[in-house]
Chain A
Amino acid sequence: MNQTQNPSDERSGLPMGLGRKGLKSQDGQIVSGWLAPHPPHLVYGENPPQNEPRSQGGWETLRWAYDRCRARIATQKPDVIIVHTPHWQTCVGHHLLGINQLSGVSIDPIFPHLFRFRYQVNCDVALSEAICQEARSRGLKSKLMKNPNLRVDYGTIVTLHMMNPNWDIPVVVMSAHSSPYFFDQRRYDDEMVELGIATRQAVIQSGKKVVLAASNSLSHRHFDYEPDPSCPEDMSREHIYSHSQYRWDMEILQLMAQGKMDQLLSKLPEFVTEAKAEVKAGGLMWMLSAMGFPRTPATVYGYGSVIGTGNAVVEWNPDFKKSSHQSLI
């Protein structure tokens, strides 16, 4: 746990909404937020010992992007990584893992030939509980998952492994409330903004240094067939699903890289509809809200397609000059 600030390091991060003058040395902080997609192909391409299937590589541009993400996180030295996953969908509210340690074998039900991963997830239950309480106090439905036999979803595992392959940083795992599929996106986005604020408040009170991860692809129309089942990593067969999807991804990434937060937020609903973007699940909105919708340019570490979907590894750092979340709620 880092209880001191380095005033010379603009990227070290401060509690959102407080500004430098409001900072107390014991306050927690969000040091970075990441768009951190979870195609299991990335783990498959890397061949870590935990994953049973073996490959000849593949999807290197995204894996190199994650290499830089890993290096950044190593310098940021977070106490906790908080991940919001779209593959743990909950009908009633926002759930968080509430067990100290969960372990087992995660087999992706969609790509079982690529991902059969032996995992051990160590959770920061105290922080999970604090986020849960904050969310409830803001009128959201939220609860801790305490069944030790739950199998952790592959989205969580892929994102966490790609960010921190040593698995030596405790995590908080948050589910995706399925309401955008049953009600409307606007109502859900409002919830995710509130969940982001609740997360930030809990982080500040925790005194911990935290990295956030929105586990989402960008455009999300897949191939509906496997180009070469005998060699899934044949990169001569990999490409974005359509030019339209590609253009959408580039437009969104450009807005991120230019720090044009207002334009980004106004474009997201159309992006979700037109490119079937996985950000529909709410992780990006949650993360940006938790960080006070930073207007500092994001850093795009890499972009690539995975069976047609568009994926990017992107980092945001806290915006010390302006905390704009209040005007956006």
Chain B
Amino acid sequence: MSDTQTQTIPSHNLLVGAWVPGMPHLLKESKSYAQLAKAMESIGHQWAQAGVKQILFFSTQWRSVLGHMFLAGPDAAGIHVDDNWYDLGDISYQLNFDPKLVEDCAHAAEIRGFQTKVIRYPGFPIDTGTLVAHNLILKGARQHHPDHSFKVGAVSCSIYSDYLDTFELACSLQAVLKDQGTPTGVVVVSLLSGRTLSDDFGEVPEQIASQADEIFNQECLQAIDHADIDHLKSLVETKGGASCADMGLRGLAFLEGLGLWTATQGGQLMAYGPIHGTGGAVISFG
């Protein structure tokens, strides 16, 4: 990304968002998941074009209990094995962190009353979802910008937060992310319905685990597209439990709190499909 390109980005585009699934199946060369994987790569391509240089991840696979944790480093490279899908192979990764961005976010959240902990332990087990999302987005970014890289940071998903808490957490981060002058992508790693198939990988055709889950997913996608925030909340409340909505879809609260999903600005669906029975969607925001 050249400086010229960076300077042409309008200020309202300094913050962009994406909702992506984080299942390791997406890293396989499989036509079942090709559409989802390509859409994630496409996000990376678009962001590289737009000069996005840093990504803040919010993954429902990194869960915290005591407040929120903020992952600030150190830079990490290695091999990760998903403890569920270890047969799908090792996941190679290299992450370069932006500690200042993460520390500023944690500080802003603390001022808002959240208990925070900045994490900087070598070997910290970064969750599968964050690594899958980073790898595919980076792959897309490098299709036309071979040297492109993203500085990263991550915020944990507190199991005791609800939609409102998560919304408020994100509100506290909005000014930091918008004011720091570097185009930033926010990636929410989450599923829609979270129920998996009960058969092993490859044993049965890929499909959403149940018809009810499929209906739930379609209704959620429509609410996201139409920017119907109240309806989305109502869907989660009435049907989310039965469809194992991934952490109550609080990833949407994170995007809403950052001003990326508003009553006048829906998300743009780029791909949707089953991943071992769960509902995977790639949606861009902002």
Contact = CB atoms under 8 A, between A and B. Distances in A.
B66 A109 contact: no
A92 B198 contact: yes
A93 interface: yes
B244 A181 contact: yes
B200 A307 contact: no
A150 B86 contact: yes
Interface residues of B, number: 35
A94 B76 CA distance: 31
A182 B196 contact: yes
Given A91-B84, A112-B121, A226 B67 contact: yes
Contact of B66 (A93, A147, A225): A225
B198 A179 contact: yes
Nearest to A141: B200
B64 A110 contact: yes
A111 B124 CA distance: 11
A91 B196 contact: yes
Contacts of B123: 105, 107, 116
A89 interface: yes
B199 A92 contact: yes
B201 interface: yes
A327 interface: no
Tell me which of B86, B87, B160 has the highest count of chain A C-beta atoms within 10 A of its own C-beta.
B86
A247 interface: no
A145 interface: yes
Interface string B81-102: 1011011001000000000000
A147 B65 contact: no
Q: Is the interface of B mostly helix, strand, loop or mixed?
A: loop
A321 interface: no
Nearest to B89: A147
Interface residues of A, number: 34
A307 B65 contact: yes
Tell me which of B62, B79, B81 has the highest count of chain A C-beta atoms within 10 A of its own C-beta.
B81
B65 A110 contact: yes
A222 B276 CA distance: 31
B271 interface: no
Tell me which of B64, B90, B123 has the highest count of chain A C-beta atoms within 10 A of its own C-beta.
B123
B125 A91 contact: no
B117 interface: yes
B276 to A, nearest CB: 7
Nearest to A226: B66
Given A145-B86, A181-B244, A224 B196 contact: no
A153 interface: yes
Interface in B194-212: 194-201, 209
Nearest to B127: A109
Contacts of A149: 79, 81, 90
A89 B195 contact: no
A304 B160 CA distance: 22
A111 B117 CA distance: 10
A226 B62 CA distance: 18
Contacts of A223: 65-66
A147 B85 CA distance: 10
A147 B276 contact: no
A171 to B, nearest CB: 17
B196 A112 contact: no
Contacts of B166: none
Tell me which of A93, A105, A182 has the highest count of chain B C-beta atoms within 10 A of its own C-beta.
A182
A229 interface: yes
B63 A110 contact: yes
18 contacts: A91-B196, A91-B197, A92-B197, A93-B200, A107-B123, A107-B125, A109-B124, A109-B125, A110-B66, A112-B124, A113-B117, A143-B200, A145-B86, A151-B81, A151-B125, A182-B209, A222-B66, A307-B66
Interface of B: 62-67, 69, 79, 81, 83-84, 86-87, 90, 115, 117, 119, 121, 123-125, 127, 158, 160, 194-201, 209, 244, 276
Given A92-B200, A150-B83, A153-B83, 10 more contacts: A91-B198, A109-B62, A109-B63, A111-B66, A147-B81, A149-B81, A150-B81, A223-B66, A226-B117, A307-B66
